[in-house]
A = this chain, B = another copy of it.
Amino acid sequence: MAYLKGAPRSLAATSLLLTQERVETVARPTVNDIAKEAGVSLATVDRVLNGRPGVRKKTVEKVNEAIRRIGYVRDITAANLARRREYHFVFVLPESDSLFLQSVRDMVNEVAELSRLDRTRITILPVPAHDPHLIAARLGELATVAVDGVAILAPETPPVRDAIRHLKEQDRAVVTLVSDQPNSDRDHFVGVDNVMAGRTAGALMGRFLGPGRHRVMVLVNSMQARDSLERRFGFDQVIAESWPDIEVLPSLEGRDDMDYISSLLPRALEQRGAVDGLYVLGAGNREVSRVLKSLGLSQQVTVIAHELTESTRRGLESGVVDAVITQNVGHIVRSAIRVLRATCDGTPIIEAQEKIRLEIVIRENLP
């Protein structure tokens, strides 16, 4: 273990411990050591190590035995150097001008630049957000070209799910991003639990509104998307459990149309009478701030929104938005790449590191 047991009693002891450790460091065994130990050539060791065919069963056993005996662990960087291994990953992202998706794209581009130093090429493939068949077709294309891994951000649909299955059959590493595709054979999902996100939003709404009867309006882009449904579900769940005096109104669907939201929202706010809370479940944050300000309601209404973007950040700073539930885009993109690479290499991932946190941001902890 790395832990020096007990506190060293004197300075001399400390020094001794550290220098001794240095001296006694035993060189890690290499392929050469295996070859010697097993009495075979390097090439044979390599064949066994990489599970390549054309080795007698008995020889395989001999080599594996030697590996076990000397406790060999492969140096993956040396292997990649010798192989001239390069990774080519494609990020399949919807063509959408939402600030969140924009930040994902920007982050992918930024990380792509740095990844070239790690022999990793990253490409963005934009797809129409709402055409599952076209998305599936594009994914089908990826199964025919020289791509090692694919990260997909798309609504859950059967064609996409099948296309992912096909990618896996073609031996590509696949992760889903932000919104999962369950039952699709993807290797990993990089994102948060959206039911939990909705519950968190609901709990904050309840606590911020405080005791008493309140009405909460919910604004959503479209109730088609799985993530929206899950968030609304979690929100309703926690409100029903803990704040039964809060009435949550039916979702108002903005349908990805900013002008529509801008006209819908003021009418709804007036028509439905006093509203104390607004839960912005999907897009439309820019419009919300504008409308609330123009109606002079920005201080009266408690607003909880999702995803920290330029517009929700300004909302927090100006006090229109009270809390934002978000996921770190940089973490998501880097995690996706680490997981894709680990999948290609067949190495394990560090679960805790790849777990995307559900972050709560208020004005005071704005990064």
B200 and A362 within 8 A (CB): yes
Which residues of B lie under 8 Å from residue A4 when comparing CB positions?
123-126
B-contact bits for A55-77, CB 8 A (1 contact / 0 none): 00000000000000000010111
Indicate if A43 sits at the interface (CB-CB under 8 A).
no
Judging by beta carbons under 8 Å apart, are B360 and A367 in contact?
no
Give complex CA distance A312, B210 in Å: 23
In contact, A7 and B95 (Cβ under 8 angstroms): yes
Q: Are B352 and A330 in contact (CB under 8 A)?
A: yes
Verify if A264 is at the interface (C-beta below 8 Å from B): no
**Is A203 within 8 A of B73, CB to CB?**
no
A14 to B138, CA, bound (A): 8
A359-B362 contact given A18-B145, A77-B77, CB 8 Å threshold: no
Q: Which residues of B contact A197 (CB under 8 A)?
A: 365
Q: Which residues of A contact B (CB under 8 A)?
A: 1-4, 6-7, 11, 14-15, 18-19, 21-22, 25, 73, 75-78, 80-81, 88, 90, 95, 105, 108-109, 112-114, 117, 121-128, 137-138, 141-142, 144-147, 196-197, 199-200, 202-204, 207-208, 210-211, 238, 322, 325, 328, 330, 334, 350, 352-353, 355, 357-365, 367
